[in-house]
Amino acid sequence: MRIAYLDCFSGISGDMFLGALVDAGVPFELLQQTVADLNIDASLELSRVDRAGISAVKVDVVVQGEKDMPRDEFWIAHHHAHQDEAGREHQAESAEKLHEHKPGRHLQEILGIIAAAAISDRGKQTARDIFLALGTAEAKVHNVETQQIHFHEVGAADAIVDVVCAAVGAEALNVEQFVASPLNVGGGVVKCSHGVMPIPTPATLELLKGAPIYSGDIQKELVTPTGAAIVKVLVSSFQPRPRMTTENIGYGAGARNFEGQANVLRLSVGETVDAAVTTGEIKGPTAQEEISILEANLDDLNPQLIGYITELALSQGALDVFTAPVQMKKNRPGALLTVLAQPEDEARMREMIFRESSTLGVRVRHERRYCLPRHHQAVATPWGEVRMKIAGVNGSASTYAPEYEDCRRIASEHKVPLKTVMQEAIRRYLDQKNG
């Protein structure tokens, strides 16, 4: 499987993600054209910088001739710029001018800009999901409806550029999955339009629910709301670096240069070791690997918790999770929980099962599994693009199926029966294959 791995040891922001994408091979011209097509009076600038001895790509968003900056620095700079000669602060005027410089937008206006963008359907959906995640988090923090949220910092042109370019660049990487390390969120406090906030800010912390986070020595905001929303939408699991062969590496620079720590986001692109496909074609024999199988019998646990454990295991990198009904001692009905994991994840999965369930014992065994080579192939349907998952051996595509999430999204957006979308995707694939 072709994946992208994000090393978030110094957090993540929109500009850091764009820099890492470009350094890993995404054409900068693609992002420039995307910004031009947005028609929001913005542009991108590219430079190569040094961050604690690491060479990295810095992508700056320029709006009306001015580069974006960390929001606490922006707030301080513009706050001080509106003091009178006697040093008395005109706070109301300062706030008004601040919002004039960073024009706010409501969610529907932003979604309209995304819908009109000249990008793929998948890129639009990803960008839409990122802004919806931002809006949902802000709405919960401020106890209002999502549609009532007025985006100040995150709704400005620079954030729209970050989000849309992140969606376009992520698609251009042509990976099946994004995986991330635990995130260093930084520490201290940050000044923003809502006042002084602890780091991580409320919206950022809301977005990172379920993700492993920590604070290091740097007392600055390392994960921005935009960065957190990108992670929430793109990243499917959080874990130490998986077994993979690395093809491309990109370093995206943050705005600040910290002493003793490289303020960069590292992006690695490559194939996991159990994938036999690297070119998009079905080749070679089945792949073999050793996996750990963890099992526990559960007869006194709320079924809702079993569902939660299943989701948690998958989010933490389990290869598969399933349950089966069993009859236990004293004729009690129960469930057999089975988790498939990479050997290096065994200890973490075992600890999670003990922590989250009521079991007193977890059985572990190691087995070999054989996997058919697989790849994705996009097909165009009347409602949008659907990825077909294709597997086979010796050059023969013996198994194919449309990606459920693609079909579910299209069915929901276009009010079309899910089965109709899946059937049409299969028909288009067979026509393409046999034509």
Are residue 304 and residue 419 in the same domain, yes or no? no
When divided into structural domains, the chain yields a total of 3
Same domain? For 380 and 366 the reply is no
Residue at which a domain ends, from 331, 348, 371: 371
Q: Is residue 279 part of a domain?
A: no
Pairing state between β 177-180 and 2-7: parallel
Q: Domain for residue 133, yes or no?
A: yes
Residue 281 lies in a domain: no
Helix (H, G, I), strand (E, B) or coil at 276: coil
Any idea what the CATH number is for the domain that residue 405 is in? 3.10.20.300
Does residue 282 belong to any structural domain of this protein?
no
- pLDDT confidence of residue 73: 53
pLDDT, position 278: 35
- For residue 361, the domain's CATH number is 3.30.70.1380
Q: Are residues 90 and 194 in the same domain?
A: yes
For residues 326 and 257, membership in a common domain is answered with no
Report DSSP state, residue 136.
H
Residues 391 and 261 in one domain: no
Give residue 395's domain range.
Answer: 374-434
Name the β-bridge partners of 369. Answer: 289
Residue 281: name the closest of 434, 425, 430, 396 by CA.
396
What pLDDT shows up at residue 280? Answer: 37
Three-class SS state of 330: helix
Q: What is the pLDDT of residue 82?
A: 43
Same domain, yes or no, for 221 and 204?
yes
- The DSSP letter of residue 153 is T
Supply the pLDDT for residue 297.
94
Q: Which helix (H) or strand (E) holds 22?
A: helix 14-23
**Integer Cα distance of 429 and 388 in angstroms:** 8
Structural domain contains residue 280: no
Instruction: Please list the ranges in the chain whose pLDDT falls under 50.
Output: 74-103, 153-155, 275-285
- Look at residues 319, 336, 371 and tell me which one is the last residue of a structural domain: 371
Pair (124, 156) in one structural domain: yes
Q: How far apart are the first and last CA of the chain?
A: 27
Are 312 and 297 in the same domain?
yes
pLDDT in tens, 183-220: 999 999 887 666 788 999 999 999 998 899 999 889 99
Same structural domain for residues 363 and 400? no
**CA-wise closest residue to 315 among 212, 242, 225:** 212
Find tokens 């809702």 and name the residue: 304
Distances (CA, A) of 144 to 99, 138, 281: 21, 8, 49
In a domain, 193, yes or no: yes
Is there a single domain that holds both residue 60 and residue 112?
Answer: yes
Identify whether residues 147 and 123 lie together within a single domain.
yes
**What distance lies between CA 113 and its chain's CA centroid?**
21
Same domain, yes or no, for 194 and 229? Answer: yes
